[in-house]
Amino acid sequence: GAVVSQHPSRVICKSGTSVKIECRSLDFQATTMFWYRQFPKQSLMLMATSNEGSKATYEQGVEKDKFLINHASLTLSTLTVTSAHPEDSSFYICSASIGGATEAFFGQGTRLTVV
Amino acid sequence: SQQGEEDPQALSIQEGENATMNCSYKTSINNLQWYRQNSGRGLVHLILIRSNEREKHSGRLRVTLDTSKKSSSLLITASRAADTASYFCATDAGRGSTLGRLYFGRGTQLTVWP
């Protein structure tokens, strides 16, 4: 199946700093990528839809200035958590879909801890 | 919200037993998918069932879909300790929805004891 690589897998940062998470589709082109957030023992919450070459579409309640999404190429989307706070600590997962297919392929996730 | 409920939230069984998890959703869908997540890891796609299908099999997995009740079930037969994981159902938002954009249930934590 298609492979989605997410980097880093774990990151610890200080409050007030920014952290960038990368999501790459390794063997296919993804016109659309998705970012999810997951709190411990809870479900995945869709944060935003990332479209190559255009602005991301954010779900209601997700701060677009806090979570900057860039989809500069057909194989790479990035999520930047700006001015991170401890409450931003979470598991962030990206997914990508191949055009015309309903199945989404997920990255391995990034565990962000803000101290 | 499209996100539905899954039950049970936790399920603990012995190896060899069958495990059944249920999922409900709220609006019309094009398809429903089941995913598995090992602790602290990404999601692995298990099976997709389309809205015009009622049952689907893949190895030890059997999925049913009842669109009139907006519910689905995942059955894992002859469970193994390696099946221990969280299982999530995910749906799209029906006609016109963005392909790949998914809404997840709360998940069922399955523990299979050797």
Give A103's contacts in chain B (Cβ within 8 Å).
33, 45, 48, 100
Higher pLDDT, A43 or B78: B78
Q: What is the pLDDT of residues A83-108, one digit of tens each?
A: 999 999 999 999 998 766 667 889 99
* Bridge partners, B20 (sequence order): B75
**H or E stretch at B37:** strand B31-37
Please, what sign has the CA dihedral across residues A38, A35, B36, A115? Answer: negative
Q: What is the pLDDT of residues B67-89, one digit of tens each?
A: 999 999 999 999 999 999 999 99
Give A94's contacts in chain B (Cβ within 8 Å).
none
pLDDT of residue A52: 83
Q: Which of residues 73-92 of A touch B (CB under 8 A)?
A: 91
My answer on whether omega of the bond before A8 falls inside 30° of 0, hence cis, is yes
Average pLDDT over residues A22-50: 90
Give B104's contacts in chain A (Cβ within 8 Å).
36, 43-46
CB A74 within 8 A of CB A98: no
Rounded Cα gap, residues A89 and A67, in angstroms: 13
Residue ranges for chain B with pLDDT beneath 50: none
Q: What is the pLDDT of residues A30-39, one digit of tens each?
A: 888 999 999 8
Measured from the Cβ of residue B102, the count of other Cβ atoms closer than 10 Å reads 30
Rounded Cα gap, residues B47 and B75, in angstroms: 12
pLDDT above 70 covers what percent of chain A? 96
* Bridge partners, B43 (sequence order): B37
| A44 has a pLDDT exceeding 70 | yes
DSSP A42-57: S-EEEEEEEETTS--E
Average pLDDT over residues A31-53: 89
